[in-house]
Amino acid sequence: MLSRWPAALIGVLALAAALAAGHLVAGFVGVNASPYLAVGNGAIDLTPVWLKDFAVRTFGTYDKLVLLSGMAVVMVVVAAVAGLLSRRTPVPGLVVITGFGLVGLVAVYARPDLDAVALLAPLASLAAGVGTFAFLRRLDVVPDRSRRTVLLAGVVAGAGIAGLGGQLLAGRRDAASSREAVGRLVPVRTAPTIPADADFAKLGTPTFLTRNDRFYRVDTALTVPQVRAEDWSLRLYGMVDREIRYRYGDIRNRPLVERTITMTCVSNEVGGTYVSTANFAGVDLADLLEEAGVRPGAEQLFSSSVDGWTSGSPLAAALDPSRGAMLAIGMNGEPLPIEHGFPARLVIPGLYGYVSATKWVTDLEVTTWDARQAYWLKRGWGREAPIKTQSRIDTPKGFETVPAGKVRVAGIAWAQHTGIAKVELRVDNGPWREAMLSHEVNPDTWRMWWLEFDVAPGGHQVVCRATDKSGYTQTEMRAGTVPDGATGWHSIAFTAR
């Protein structure tokens, strides 16, 4: 009978060999075929809304790292236990490893963005796991202790090299070099220059345009999809007179327009950070749809990403010339960053991102609401999701201590596609006072505001609320983000000294 430590170690080593072999093969057939990542992606897609919400609230952008680490811990523990149970006979260990392998196979099989070749990765995992386990189990028949050590070290090194090799191979196929090769995109109509008084960054608001590397990011992708411009195409089909396929060059060579647009995520809590602004360059979605010829009765523009994520936008919004819905390929003067959808994405002003902003978009199907249900709709989020009028206090920060006397409060407000009419502030339940507004760039973007108050030493609370150009004033009623966006007034507690 094997002693405890070697038994547990054998389980863990077999697991490592399995994951590494799968990752190596995935380096050839596509990184998402890596069984580990496929299981992670599957877990994300299966996660109920409440748990996803909890994860995003608790871990923010680290939610995926937490998921992957959690998976790793669980797998190591299970593998060690499987090893321990196999001290007398290898059967329990083989059953557990095979079980892992099958989960990996199912996860890869279920990925919408992978074809049958991808199954080679989890099959390699299964073979390497079972093989390594069976091999190491028989090591105790090797009489020579140092030879045993060499064999063990060999397994560890082999797993390490295979894993790293997979990582390197995956990197070689990435989209970065393709994006470099795109070069400068020159819109025929650039967005108007942002005037200096469009933000109050010196007073603590964000800058008007958000730098690409500071732009909020929300997606379900565990690894950023790598799509090379030369491999990309967009298929426009469904309830249209003629189906059209656009290649990257077809889009890039059209007269590009550029628009300044503030995007917002439906998961943005009151006071949250999932709101950013950029100059997007691309073509009018309405032009593409007109070329295809939309048939009567169509209601929904159902878009799919290369990673299988889907979104349903109201077709009327995509067609409305006053809204300026785009297929965007540029962001702030550069080709779209890979994590923001390179080579191409949708941007429809005024709608939350999950119904308007498909990244890595490859399919546009013109259809009805009944025919297709998009990713988040199936998971309990609303079908119609116009962005709700909101405002946020950026300075002072919550629980900040500031000098008593004149305190300057500054922040942002947005009501995309309607425009902000005024922002009011109230300190300690005093009267509402109107804030100074920044220059309006266009109604699809945020506006900045500031106002000064005289405050005595002690604790204070400041609240803001925006009124949009339709005359609607933000409701005080607190609503959570599910199903169609949070409501309520943002408030900040601070101390004056």
Ligand X SMILES: Nc1nc2c(c(=O)[nH]1)N[C@H]1C(S)=C(S)[C@@H](COP(=O)(O)O)O[C@H]1N2
What tokens does 93 get? Answer: 């260990």
Minimum distance of Mo ion from residue 45's CB (angstroms): 16
Minimum distance of Mo ion from residue 481's CB (angstroms): 9
Residues 287-306 within binding reach of ligand X (CB under 6 A):
305
Distances (CA, A) of 179 to 41, 248, 277, 305: 25, 11, 22, 18
Minimum distance of Mo ion from residue 63's CB (angstroms): 14
Phi, psi dihedrals of residue 201, rounded to the nearest 5°: -55, -35
Query: What's the per-residue H, E or C state across 419-447?
Result: CEEEEEEEECCCCCEECEECCCCCCCCCE
Nearer to ligand X, 8 or 482 (CB): 482
Rounded CA separation 244/420 (Å): 39
Contact call for residue 309 and ligand X (CB under 6 A) = yes
Contact call for residue 36 and ligand X (CB under 6 A) = no
Q: Which helix (H) or strand (E) holds 13?
A: helix 4-29
Minimum distance of Mo ion from residue 375's CB (angstroms): 11
216 binds, among Mo ion, ligand X, none (CB under 5 to 8 A by kind): ligand X
| Beta strand residue intervals within 376-477, DSSP E | 390-395, 401-402, 405-414, 420-427, 433-434, 436-437, 447-455, 458-468
Rounded CA separation 173/308 (Å): 19
Q: Is 451 helix (H, G, I), strand (E, B) or coil?
A: strand
What tokens does 35 get? Answer: 């069984």
Mention every residue, 6+ apart, whose C-beta is less than 8 A from residue 331: 212, 215, 278, 279, 280, 281, 337, 340
Minimum distance of ligand X from residue 247's CB (angstroms): 20
113 binds, among Mo ion, ligand X, none (CB under 5 to 8 A by kind): none
Minimum distance of Mo ion from residue 357's CB (angstroms): 8
Q: Does the bond joining 396 to the residue before it have cis omega, within 30 degrees of 0?
A: yes
Q: Does the bond joining 225 to the residue before it have cis omega, within 30 degrees of 0?
A: no
* Region near ligand X per CB under 6 A, out of 36-44, 90-98, 351-359, 422-430: 351-359
Contact call for residue 340 and ligand X (CB under 6 A) = yes
Nearer to ligand X, 217 or 422 (CB): 217
Minimum distance of Mo ion from residue 266's CB (angstroms): 5
360 binds, among ligand X, Mo ion, none (CB under 5 to 8 A by kind): ligand X
Asked whether the beta carbons of 15 and 87 are under 8 A apart, the reply is no
Nearer to ligand X, 299 or 339 (CB): 339
Nearer to ligand X, 112 or 458 (CB): 112
Contact call for residue 307 and ligand X (CB under 6 A) = yes
Minimum distance of ligand X from residue 353's CB (angstroms): 2
Residues 210-239 within binding reach of ligand X (CB under 6 A):
215-221
Contact call for residue 120 and ligand X (CB under 6 A) = no
Residues 352-391 within binding reach of ligand X (CB under 6 A):
353-354, 357-360
Q: Tell me, what amino acid is at 29?
A: V
Where on the chain is the footprint of Mo ion (CB under 5 A)? 218, 265-266, 353-354
**Residues found near ligand X in the complex (CB under 6 A):** 215-221, 263, 265, 305, 307, 309, 340, 353-354, 357-360
